[in-house]
Structure 1
Amino acid sequence: MFPRALAQTLQLLSRGFPIVAVTGPRQSGKTTLVRELFSDKPYVSLEDPQERAFASEDPRGFLARFGEGAVFDEAQRWPDLFSHLQGMVDADRVPGRFVLTGSQQFGLLSGVTQSLAGRVGMTRLLPLSLAELPASRVKALGLDGLMLRGMYPALHAQDLRPADWFASYVATYVERDVRQVLNVQDLSTFQRFLRQCAARTGQLLNVSALAGEAGVSNHTARAWLSVLEASDVVFLLPPYHRNFGKRLVKSPKLYFVDTGLVCWLLGIRNIETLHLYPLRGAVFETLVVGEFMKSRLNAGQPPDLYFWRDNNGLEADLVFDVDGRLQPVEIKSGSTVTSDYIRAGQKAARFAGEEALPPWLVHGGEDAYERSGVRVMDWQSLRDMLPQVFSSPRP
């Protein structure tokens, strides 16, 4: 098992809430983490048809086995669980009594908001971050190797070919999640839609253009996007909300949670192809933005990440708040830091004026230094830096 940064946040929440819950994409390591962290509790998978049938037919008898608490995996598979747990924890609010996991945010979150509000400490576990992989592994794979393989734990714990694993992942999990929520008759059309999404990672979301390319209606495209977002396959990065007197772009940017899945959907099967691929910069940006997202979630913080772009071309790839001031981040995939990169970093901070901190420039090479007011950092430095920037809360 890889040591997961979310463990500290889970332990902290389990000392304050009677229930803790972990959402996240399938195969991100939720079950492994909670079984290791709460090994003293009985484990029940509600994906198991027999357990689910027992729960549906005799809920009182089913739950009577777990008066002292339990880990319920894929809790959204039995929606009535949430109302039953409400009564149990209201009668005895022992901290950390129950642990829930769920791969579909819409299923788990709807149950929590309806029945368990105020009783649950919520967390999200995304695939591995750079900080959770051994440094030797990161170095051995290199940037392109890491982007091609992605960060799902199974692809680093076992000798698996990414192409084989992702083909099974999409067929077994992603398509199944869509079928469970929406009545998708033509999976080939959905697969085309998914590939079109991959080709737009790191770009402004234009639902009409995406729907047109995929051959579906705008309504269908929005519905499918909502399922992909709720299943943590993709996420939307919103534009920064303050005006600063500019005409702003209002559309969010679309990102995939994992670069390996992006590469597979785009038909990239080897490092050589990725290195020359026209969208390599977008894949790199997806990796970097994902690292910021994972670090904040692992620390128990809301994402609160944004981008900035106005109609005059002034933009920052990433923006977040630090003690009331804005930290702009420019992301460039090239391995050599050029004068153009430095100017882009300077420009990224210009929109906020005095409210902006010195800009960061994250690039695909190995250089790290200060230049012309820009903090230049290589992509591998995120491994040690981000957990410090977004440190976990202390009790």
Structure 2
Amino acid sequence: MIERELALTLKKRLKKFPILTLTGPRQSGKSTLLRNYFPEYAYINLERPDYRHLIMNDPVGFLKSQEKGVIFDEAQRVPELFNYLQVVSDERNIAGQYILSGSQSFLMNERISQSLAGRTSINHLFPFDVSEIGLRETVFDTIYTGFYPRIYDFNIEPGEFYPPYIQTYIERDVRTLRSIENLTTFTRFLALCAGRIGQILNLTSLANDAGVSVNTAKSWLSLLEASFILFRLQPYYKNFNKRLVKSPKLYFWDTGLACSLLDIQSAKMVQSHYLYGFLFENLVIAEIVKLQSHKGYNRKKTYYWRDNNGVEVDCILEGADGKLHLVEIKGGATINTDYMKNLTSFPVRGLGVEKHVIYTGDKSLTMGDVEITGWNGLIKLLAQLSEK
């Protein structure tokens, strides 16, 4: 079994909270992690109707009869359970009583805010990160394959895994979370989002292309975020007087999923695709954010920067000490002095700023005050950046 980075964080937090909550995309490995790292806990999958019926016949009696801890998987299937968990956990007043898991963050968070606020530690498990699974032979293969555990556990081709995964997500999660009448339109909207990877979000343009209202586009984007399909990277605009772009950029949590939506059918197609540069940028930024989450850090300190003249820094990490780590991400395999141009244009300079360029070549070196990292050094650098 491949070790999961988040497991250590979960074990530590379980000693501090009566309830631990674990959410993340469907098939990211939540059930496997919990069953393997917490074998002393009883495991109950609430997808099973018989378990739901048994528990809800006498919820307080059932909870009090469990002398050891309990894992409730797909906990959002029994929303009434959260109220009883509050009562019983408060009566016992000890840490590590229950673990809740589910793939629908929106429903989980809604129940938690109503019943378990302050009583649970909320954690997110994403597909494998690069520290867990490593990189594949080429950047193109890494982008195309993605990081979902089942692909690696059962040696499934990405072209066989992602289409049914997307179909299941739309038919199950989307129907559960929103009453969307036209799933075909929603599927087109999802593909249009993939076509905007790494680009500044223009809601009006996205809504027009999808044939929906701006309010509908907003609602659907929130749905895609709540179900861990994509995320928005916010701009960095602190302490600057000049006009800056203040709209977020779109990224997907998994590049393999994005490739499937873009109808990319092989690693070779990634190499020649017009969005290759953005896909590589997506890979790096998603890995930084995933590593932060799996290590228990705060991902809100990750940004991008762009001024009104189009000068842009792909990724900015703000450390707890206020230090800024600027990262330019380039899909080329040959070092180019133009790669450093935007870093020198950033308005903050001095000891409080570190500058990095990530590219896909073999060599890593330093040029002036810029650290240049190639493909072979990517895992080490991403681990360092995620800890900043």
TM range (shorter): over 0.9
1:381 maps to 2:364: no
**Aligned-pair CA distance for 1:177:** 1.1
**Aligned-pair CA distance for 1:355:** 6.9
Match of 2:323 in 1: 325
Q: Distance in 1 between matches of 2:44 and 2:322?
A: 44
Q: Distance in 1 between matches of 2:96 and 2:344?
A: 47
Match of 1:313 in 2: 310
The letter for the 2-side match of 1:200 is R
Aligned length: 386
Match of 2:343 in 1: 345
1:86 maps to 2:82: no
**Aligned-pair CA distance for 1:83:** 1.2
The letter for the 1-side match of 2:69 is G
After TM superposition, the score normalised by the length of structure 1 is 0.93
Q: Distance in 2 between matches of 1:246 and 1:335?
A: 34
| Residue of 256, 264, 267 corresponding to 1:268 | 264
| Residue of 145, 151, 154 corresponding to 1:155 | 151
| Residue of 252, 255, 264 corresponding to 1:256 | 252
Match of 1:202 in 2: 198
Q: Distance in 1 between matches of 2:384 and 2:349?
A: 26
Q: 1:364 to 1:174 in 2, by over 3 A?
A: farther
Match of 1:361 in 2: 357
**Aligned-pair CA distance for 1:44:** 0.7
The answer on whether the counterparts of 1:314 and 1:351 sit within 8 Å (CA) in structure 2 is: no
The answer on whether the counterparts of 1:237 and 1:307 sit within 8 Å (CA) in structure 2 is: yes
Match of 2:49 in 1: 49
Q: Distance in 1 between matches of 2:202 and 2:46?
A: 37
Match of 1:13 in 2: 13
Structure 1 residue runs without a partner (length 5+): none
The answer on whether the counterparts of 1:342 and 1:372 sit within 8 Å (CA) in structure 2 is: no
The answer on whether the counterparts of 1:128 and 1:153 sit within 8 Å (CA) in structure 2 is: yes
1:144 maps to 2:140: yes
The letter for the 2-side match of 1:188 is T
Q: 1:32 to 1:275 in 2, by over 3 A?
A: same
The letter for the 1-side match of 2:338 is D
Question: 1:343-362 deviations in whole A, cap 9, x for unaligned?
Answer: 23333xx2223474121111
Q: Distance in 1 between matches of 2:318 and 2:347?
A: 14
The answer on whether the counterparts of 2:305 and 2:316 sit within 8 Å (CA) in structure 1 is: yes
Decide which moves more: 79-88 or 63-72. Answer: 63-72
Q: 1:257 to 1:380 in 2, by over 3 A?
A: farther
**Aligned-pair CA distance for 1:184:** 1.4
The letter for the 2-side match of 1:266 is L
**Aligned-pair CA distance for 1:67:** 4.1
SS in 1 for 2:309: coil
The answer on whether the counterparts of 1:291 and 1:382 sit within 8 Å (CA) in structure 2 is: no
1:111 maps to 2:111: yes
Q: 1:157 to 1:53 in 2, by over 3 A?
A: same
SS in 2 for 1:26: coil
Decide which moves more: 82-91 or 256-265. Answer: 82-91
The answer on whether the counterparts of 1:288 and 1:379 sit within 8 Å (CA) in structure 2 is: no
**Aligned-pair CA distance for 1:161:** 1.7
Q: Distance in 1 between matches of 2:282 and 2:359?
A: 13
After TM superposition, the score normalised by the length of structure 2 is 0.95
**Aligned-pair CA distance for 1:94:** 2.3
Q: Distance in 2 between matches of 1:25 and 1:171?
A: 14
Q: Distance in 1 between matches of 2:380 and 2:355?
A: 18
SS in 2 for 1:353: coil
Percent sequence identity is 41
Q: 1:82 to 1:382 in 2, by over 3 A?
A: farther
Q: Distance in 2 between matches of 1:39 and 1:327?
A: 40
Q: Distance in 1 between matches of 2:248 and 2:351?
A: 23
The answer on whether the counterparts of 1:130 and 1:382 sit within 8 Å (CA) in structure 2 is: no
Q: Distance in 2 between matches of 1:101 and 1:283?
A: 30
The letter for the 2-side match of 1:36 is N
1:283 maps to 2:279: yes
The answer on whether the counterparts of 2:198 and 2:282 sit within 8 Å (CA) in structure 1 is: yes
**Aligned-pair CA distance for 1:233:** 0.3
Q: Distance in 2 between matches of 1:87 and 1:381?
A: 50
The answer on whether the counterparts of 1:23 and 1:125 sit within 8 Å (CA) in structure 2 is: yes
**Aligned-pair CA distance for 1:80:** 1.4
Question: 1:318-358 deviations in whole A, cap 9, x for unaligned?
Answer: 111121121111111111111111223333xx222347412
Q: Distance in 2 between matches of 1:36 and 1:391?
A: 26
Q: Distance in 2 between matches of 1:355 and 1:86?
A: 48
Question: 1:252-290 deviations in whole A, cap 9, x for unaligned?
Answer: 001110000111011100122110100001110110001
Structure 2 residue runs without a partner (length 5+): none
The answer on whether the counterparts of 2:303 and 2:317 sit within 8 Å (CA) in structure 1 is: yes
The answer on whether the counterparts of 1:329 and 1:362 sit within 8 Å (CA) in structure 2 is: yes
The letter for the 2-side match of 1:160 is I
What's the Cα RMSD here? 1.7
Q: Distance in 1 between matches of 2:132 and 2:41?
A: 25
| Residue of 177, 187, 193 corresponding to 2:183 | 187
